[in-house]
Structure 1
Amino acid sequence: MRSPDARPLAPRDIVSSGLCIGCGACVAGATSSGATMAWDRYGQLKPTGPDAWYARRSTTFARLCPFSPDARDEDRIAGELYPDARVVDARIGRFEQAYVGAVAEADFRAAGSSGGMVTWVAAELLRRGLVDGVAHVAPATDPDSEGRFFGYRISRSDADVRAGAKSRYYPIELSQVLDEIRAVPGRYAVVGIPCFIKSVNLLRAEDPVLQDRIAYTLGLYCGHMKSARFVESFAWQLDVPRDEVKAVEYRMKNADRPANWYTAHLTLKDGRQVWQDWWHLVDGDWGAGYFQNSACNFCDDVVAETADISFGDAWVEPYSSDGRGTNVVVVRSAELQAIVEEALVAGRLELKAVDADFIVGTQAAGFRQRREGLAWRLAHRRRGIQPRKRVAAATTGLPRRRKLIYWMRARISAWSHRIFFLAREIERPSLYIGWGRATLALYQGLTYSRGRIGAAIDRIERTFASGPER
């Protein structure tokens, strides 16, 4: 179902307003007009093309872009897809059942970043003949000169799906696989982060071919999208040339270490391997928002509310300390719920039913950022198109410290791109590394009361404890 009358928008409007996530939906099917997805100077994928396409305003584009204020929101999309859902929750959407656990079958759990559930469901759909291909992100076999280490591809076998397991904190886009789905008849499943799945659903409502061929959507919980410069920062801090990096792993699994102890791992062209735990990196605190896409500041979907089934990490004890990895799963499709229940009875999955509160608790930081933090950000006027979200703008009642945290995250997100760009241009990695170290110390002082900075902030907080906002 289409949105009501929308005001005409162009790709340029969304990009210039900082609301382009780089999904590539607007480019899919438009290559004949010269449109393509290309790197910007900050290592993010953005649409580009002749002005006749890039600057042309249309209501169709306004309905299709996931961050357009005139596109259908997640509540409306999910209401149309899952009208008979057993549970409706304002935080995680409509669903049949939620679980925590992992795959018991074969080596799915060991091969993935978490509990192996994403790969298992994708492979199971292929094994049952319910789909002919799975569109998912996998490592590039030969990274190009621009450093595109990952990209979407369509896998048509169990082995190929398994080869794409693990987390990829890297810019990717959908245009080529969507064009392949249009060109090659069959049934497909698409795996993606929340805004990408929303984009796919918006496209399906407009395109009968995609509606017919995309049979399932598998969503991934998301904190934010990183730029390609994150990999270059790894290389700088591990003291290796960027052009010598052949492959990247963001999370090396070790059953003897807690699951939330991330390790950055680079494989070089000469076969050497170098790595470092994230907490030793100047930009290794995920919540600080280094290299974050600006559109992520205006996302209100943590758990992929428009996907048939969605998956995240169980970031609560005792699961976060289990180095084998554990998933939280939200099932929205009744058909997929039946498949999961059958596998549970057969002992192929080890899952325990949980409620919405448990799911929200495992993603508590993400929900604060996209509810409380989003409300604060929406209250500040910004240039260009104004986002329209399900969260109402608000600043009252928010403690000064929380305001400072949200303000600093936004500044880190924006300035990490600029400082890295300058350091890259003048070939001075130390400029970015020094800036990153200083901003991280200040951010962690605000957030965790660490070190002298945190102690000073605590004293300031106590001084203003009797202020009107307390």
Structure 2
Amino acid sequence: MHNVTSKDIGYVVDNRLCLSCGACAAACSKKAITLHETLGGYLYPKVDYLNCVHCGLCLKVCPGVQYNDRVHDAYLCVPHSESILEAYVGRSLDEEIYENAQSGGVVTGILKDMLQRNAVDAVLCAVMTHAIPPRGEAILIGNPHKLLQAQKSKYVPVPLLKNLREQLKVQNKIAVVGLPCHMQGLELLKSALPEIEDKIVLRIGLVCDRILTAKSIDWLTKQATEKPVSHIIYRDKTRSGYPGDPSVETNNGEIIMLKAADRMAIKDFFTPVRCRLCLDKLNVKADIVCGDPHGVEGVDRINGETLVLVRNERGKHVIEDVAGVGKIDLRSVSVATAVNGQCIDQRVRDWKAYLQAWKGLEMPLPEGVERQQVNGKKILKVFENDLKQGLTLDTYDKASVIYKAAAGWLRKKRLKIVVLDIFKIIRNVFVKIVCILIITIENKGA
């Protein structure tokens, strides 16, 4: 086991605080850090101590082991809507992009326009590989026509930043599309790669409720087929309409559809533990943030649209430029409504509860969390159980045992839902009977 004085990323892995962002690998000038998938589907860094010079940079740039006060102030100290300049809902006007999009295709529409007019030289983003098994992967795209392959959410660990040191050497203007952990890692990387300040010209953040470990891909594909699967789309609106059901593609090209309920039902089983300790759903460090427009009225719920949150002047100028040339169609919505639709207040409550539960499990808290407001009510057992489940994923001895455990876990969850539904029906019937009795008694009294 490592301890914090050993000053390397091994401490983060040992204590399950890793976010799989890849910042540690980017910081290492000796290329002593590589990322490896665990049996449970976590993607964790590994240090080659033959090349390591013990500089401590990998730990210094890790967003998993520390909290950014400014990020959390945006959620805890003021109404979160105050950190957002403007909010929009809309879609790309490029029909190819829109039809292939998970929602409205706005992110791809912005990036395609910027590449075409040389506002950026390349886009750093994630794709889902066509491989057996499929996995999320970071890619640098310079051709606007190749952006289509990066559309749709991946929902699994992607070490987006791992090759950034080399990428900055050959590119002058890069746009980055990533999750909150990627954006926080990018901010911390400035200490090791100061050229980030000038070369990363746009940060497009994605709204993130949490990801699943990569093993969720294998479990989902096995629900569809026993054939080898080479690709998965988590939300395929081209086949089942918005918001889309999962589709898997076998190595011979056969497409098999699953239900979105299957993905959502197993989400808690495969959620990485560090995701439970993250508050930054709305990507504070991005210039522009995009996601689904939950809670916003007048949205196209058939074909899909994108929620766009503008966080700073740079993001505002980009939106004005792209909308001004007719590449995207946006309409203003209330910032408060947009934020409320993302259930941020509930996120804050859950975050505090998970931190307390994590501490109760005698796991080390990220640095800086003691300064946050995490003391409160007694922790419900459910939060502790969620964390224990995430910690258990790497304790199984083989993949088949994980799949069996997932199936058993899912059966119990569905049984609980059935029992709760029956209880609700009985309760509603009882309430109606009581109301009828009250009305009858009152009528007799009259």
TM over 0.5: yes
Aligned ranges 1:198-277 → 2 under 5 Å: 198-241=184-227, 244-254=228-238, 257=241, 259-260=242-243, 262-277=244-259
| Alignment RMSD (CA, Å) | 3.3
Aligned ranges 1:66-465 → 2 under 5 Å: 66-69=63-66, 73-74=70-71, 90-91=79-80, 94-141=83-130, 143=131, 147-241=133-227, 244-254=228-238, 257=241, 259-260=242-243, 262-279=244-261, 281=262, 284-285=264-265, 289-316=268-295, 318=297, 322-345=301-324, 347-364=326-343, 367-368=344-345, 370-380=347-357, 381=359, 382-387=361-366, 388-389=368-369, 391-396=372-377, 403=380, 405-415=382-392, 417=393, 421=396, 424-425=399-400, 429-442=403-416, 444=417, 450-452=420-422
Conservation of the 8 A alpha-carbon contact between 1:299 and 1:370: no
Q: Please state whether the residue corresponding to 1:163 is helix, strand or coil.
A: helix
Match of 1:65 among 48, 58, 62: 62
Provide closer, same or farther for how the CA distance between residues 107 and 378 of structure 1 changes in structure 2, counting only shifts above 3 A. Answer: same
Q: Offset of 1:383 from its aligned partner?
A: 3.2
> How far, CA to CA, are the matches of 1:298 and 1:56 in structure 2?
28
Conservation of the 8 A alpha-carbon contact between 1:308 and 1:336: yes
> How far, CA to CA, are the matches of 1:178 and 1:127 in structure 2?
23
> How far, CA to CA, are the matches of 1:114 and 1:219 in structure 2?
15
Q: Offset of 1:102 from its aligned partner?
A: 1.8
**Bigger shift: residues 8-17 or 322-331:** 8-17
Structure showing greater radius of gyration is 2
Q: Please state whether the residue corresponding to 1:130 is helix, strand or coil.
A: coil
Q: Which amino acid aligns with 2:362?
A: R
Q: Deviations over 1:302-333 (max 9, x none)?
A: 11110011101012365677131111111123
Provide closer, same or farther for how the CA distance between residues 41 and 54 of structure 1 changes in structure 2, counting only shifts above 3 A. Answer: farther
Q: Please state whether the residue corresponding to 1:26 is helix, strand or coil.
A: helix
Q: Which amino acid aligns with 2:136?
A: F
Conservation of the 8 A alpha-carbon contact between 2:173 and 2:201: yes
Q: Deviations over 1:86-130 (max 9, x none)?
A: xx9642563321112222343322221011111111112212211
Conservation of the 8 A alpha-carbon contact between 2:9 and 2:58: yes
As a proportion of its length, which structure holds more helix?
Answer: 2
Provide closer, same or farther for how the CA distance between residues 16 and 453 of structure 1 changes in structure 2, counting only shifts above 3 A. Answer: farther
> How far, CA to CA, are the matches of 1:285 and 1:93 in structure 2?
34
| Number of matched pairs | 420
Q: Which amino acid aligns with 2:43?
A: L
5+ residue gaps, structure 2: 429-446
TM-score by length of 2: 0.83
> How far, CA to CA, are the matches of 1:52 and 1:315 in structure 2?
50
5+ residue gaps, structure 1: 1-5, 79-87, 459-470
Question: For residue 461 of structure 1, what is the aligned residue in structure 2?
Answer: none
Q: Offset of 1:385 from its aligned partner?
A: 2.7
Q: Which amino acid aligns with 1:38?
A: H
> How far, CA to CA, are the matches of 2:199 and 2:6 in structure 1?
28
> How far, CA to CA, are the matches of 2:52 and 2:427 in structure 1?
46
TM-score by length of 1: 0.79
Provide closer, same or farther for how the CA distance between residues 41 and 126 of structure 1 changes in structure 2, counting only shifts above 3 A. Answer: same
Q: Offset of 1:404 from its aligned partner?
A: 5.0
Q: Offset of 1:412 from its aligned partner?
A: 4.4
Conservation of the 8 A alpha-carbon contact between 1:8 and 1:62: no
Q: Which amino acid aligns with 1:12?
A: G
> How far, CA to CA, are the matches of 1:307 and 1:327 in structure 2?
16
Q: Offset of 1:453 from its aligned partner?
A: 6.7
Q: Deviations over 1:383-439 (max 9, x none)?
A: 34312347511333x8x9xx3554454344444x258x456245x844431322213
Q: Offset of 1:34 from its aligned partner?
A: 3.0
> How far, CA to CA, are the matches of 1:115 and 1:340 in structure 2?
15
Provide closer, same or farther for how the CA distance between residues 55 and 250 of structure 1 changes in structure 2, counting only shifts above 3 A. Answer: farther
Provide closer, same or farther for how the CA distance between residues 406 and 176 of structure 1 changes in structure 2, counting only shifts above 3 A. Answer: closer
Q: Offset of 1:195 from its aligned partner?
A: 0.8
> How far, CA to CA, are the matches of 2:175 and 2:19 in structure 1?
21
